[in-house]
Amino acid sequence: MYIPLSCDETYFSVTMASFSPSCDICQNLHMTKPAIAWCFECDEAICDDCEKKHGIQKATRHHNATSIDDYQKLPSSISNIRQECEDHNKKMNFYCSTHIEPCCVSCISAKHKNCRELTDLSEIAKGVKYSTEFVDLKERVKDVSLILEELTQSKIDQKLNLHNMKQTIDYEVERIRKVINCHLDKLQNKFSELLVDKELQQRNIIDSLIGELSVMKSYAAKISDELQITEQHASEFQTFLNIKKWSKEIEDIENYLKYIQKSKDLGSVKMYMELCPILETIETTVTEFGKVSVKIQKTTEIVLQKEKQGQTLIPAPRITNINLTKICSLRVSMGKHEVISGCDMLEDESVLVSVDSNTFPRIVVMSPNVSNMKLIPLTGYPCDITAIENNTVAVTLYLKKEIVIVDIDSSSTLNSIPVNDHCYGITYTTGKLVVSLQNQIIQTMDLFGNVLIKISTTSTATYCTMFEDQLYYAAVYDDVVYSCNLNGDVLWEFNCKELSKPHDITNDAFGNIFVTCEKSNKVILIGRRGNQYRVLLGDQDGMFEPRAIHYNRKTCELWCVIQRVCVSCTK
């Protein structure tokens, strides 16, 4: 892990405030008085009496002094800076741009004879706190602080989400367990019914056989009784004549016995169970309920303020100086009652549009040269679309009250995020989704659907965009464009009644706002502070009911949708 060690210097300066320094001038006079001020020019602490003289003496009246309390608040990297050269004990009045260091008169002859970029130090330092470099530094500090705060909050949210995910998995395990138990109960009941039927069937077969055997047994007993009586009381003549009859009857019984011996009915009946192979080996084959996998999604790319500006400070252009040049047009094939509702761009500069249709709502992905076009079907009517990563987009389905995260490569839905009202415009910024809802709410959420901020709006926002800590939204029903902070406090509002029906909205890297005015066939540009505007595109530029709009801050291209044509312009 990389942690900058130089930050420790600032902590040492905190301990300086625990003691009060003495006046340096009085100490030279062998007196001790508490200092109340610090002179940066003299590099000395000054007491109350000396400060009065210091402020009126000709040599020091223009010196820059501050209170000792404020001086002690300075980081050690600042307070340790001295006005005098350590090598020559002379005041450093010059700055060498070649060696990037201050120097005194003696330093010039010693080390800077051949240096041509020597400047008066007081002149080069004058107004440095208002310089673009200092302002940029403050912006970068603010930028990294915000990013660190967002990353920390994101990880805290992920921690909470882990518990929710664990509970979801527990519920799913319990549900599957109940499903399995319920299924086994059904199988057991079915098996028990089958077992009863089989037992009854075999009992009936045995009862039938016992009945037949009983009849044959009675026949044999009757013959036995007749033979016994005949042997005792009948004549030999009578006995001789009846032997054939008895022989026939006994033969019938013997034939019956041979018959039943050949049949299965005489066999010994045994019932047993053949267990289903899966159930029989479940203890050995099913050794785990499932696997717990962890998938790390690719993090959002961190774009630093320094990278945003290409390490070069570019002053914000006046809106009067912003002009557009048409680059190209992309035509989208659509049906009669279909409209393009949203527009955005991927990192590879492919153009994304969402098509609202009763029969085939879809995402259309087009390369700038139209050599490749991809259609991705949607399950509801789309209102707006925003790119998340180069292969992932978010789309608002306004009637379904749902946001879907779609993988462009596989055309599959990665996640569905329900919202509590009809959803309109959506934009993605610094790892968050910002979405407009019909109930006069704009909310920011993470990609898991966790709501981070809810912002109450003055009117229903159709489309919205965000720049730094400012939110801009178009209220189409009121013909007004609003700017507010993250608490919902209105910073300014721009009345579009003369321009009519502000629809979609986007912004450039300086906070200037582009708005499509559908009814008046115009695209207007509003300055960041809302006090200036101008019409950028109109009827003469082919504008007819412009709807969706997107500004690519990387390429400085403005994409505007006119019916079924995407027009690209550059500033």
Tokens of 266: 């005489």
Give backbone dihedrals phi and psi of 363, rounded to 5 degrees, phi first: -105, 135
Geometric angle at alpha carbon 487, from 485 and 492, rounded to 5°: 35
Q: Answer yes or no: is pLDDT of 5 > 80.
A: no
Q: Picking from 194-203, 364-373, 436-445, 541-550, which range would have the lowest pLDDT averaged per residue?
A: 364-373
Output the CA–CA distances (angstroms, integers) from residue 424 to 154, 441, 513, in the order listed: 25, 11, 19
Q: Answer yes or no: is pLDDT of 79 > 90.
A: no
- The domain spans of the chain are 1-81, 166-285, 330-570
* Highest mean pLDDT: which range of 157-161, 194-198, 290-294: 194-198
Rounded CA-CA distance 531/318 in Å is 12
Rounded CA-CA distance 183/175 in Å is 12
**What secondary structure letter does DSSP report for 368?**
T
Nearest CA-CA partner of 340 in 131, 518, 470, 171: 518
> What is the rounded average pLDDT of the residues 141-147?
83
| Radius of gyration over every alpha carbon of the chain, rounded to an integer in angstroms | 46
Rounded CA-CA distance 427/444 in Å is 10
Geometric angle at alpha carbon 463, from 458 and 464, rounded to 5°: 75
Q: CATH class for domain 1-81?
A: few secondary structures
Tokens of 223: 């013959």
Q: Residue 546's beta-bridge partner residues? A: 562
Local structure of 420: helix, strand or coil: coil
Residue 369's pLDDT band, with cuts at 50, 70 and 90, is low
Rounded CA-CA distance 73/557 in Å is 46
Nearest CA-CA partner of 250 in 216, 225, 214: 216
Does the pTM surpass 0.75? The reply is: no
Please identify which residue in the block is written with the tokens 């403005």: 558
Tokens of 149: 């705060």
Residue 166's pLDDT band, with cuts at 50, 70 and 90, is confident
Sign of the alpha-carbon dihedral angle for 104, 110, 111, 117? positive
> What is the rounded average pLDDT of the residues 256-270?
84
Specify whether the CB–CB gap between 506 and 465 falls below 8 A: yes
Q: Picking from 164-173, 198-207, 223-232, 376-385, which range would have the lowest pLDDT averaged per residue?
A: 164-173
Tokens of 553: 């801050």
Local structure of 64: helix, strand or coil: coil
> What is the rounded average pLDDT of the residues 470-494?
91
H or E segment to which residue 570 belongs: strand 565-570
Q: For the chain, what's the residue count?
A: 571
pLDDT, residue 383, reads 95
Q: Answer yes or no: is pLDDT of 347 > 80.
A: yes
pLDDT, residue 569, reads 64
Rounded CA-CA distance 237/365 in Å is 117
Rounded CA-CA distance 147/132 in Å is 22
For 525, residues 6+ apart whose C-beta sits below 8 A from its C-beta are 319, 322, 512, 513, 514, 515, 533, 534, 535, 536
Range 330-570: architecture per CATH: 6 Propeller (2.120)
H or E segment to which residue 227 belongs: helix 132-233
pLDDT, residue 17, reads 39
Q: Answer yes or no: is pLDDT of 3 > 50.
A: no
Rounded CA-CA distance 21/36 in Å is 9
Same fold, 1-81 and 330-570: no
Q: Residue 200's beta-bridge partner residues? A: none
pLDDT, residue 483, reads 93
pLDDT, residue 566, reads 64
Alpha carbons within 13 angstroms on the beta-carbon side of residue 539 total 3
H or E segment to which residue 391 belongs: none
Residue 567's pLDDT band, with cuts at 50, 70 and 90, is low
3-state secondary structure 516-543: EECCCCEEEEECCCCCCEEEEECHHHCC
Output the CA–CA distances (angstroms, integers) from residue 194 to 42, 186, 199, 280, 305, in the order listed: 107, 12, 9, 19, 76
For 191, residues 6+ apart whose C-beta sits below 8 A from its C-beta are none
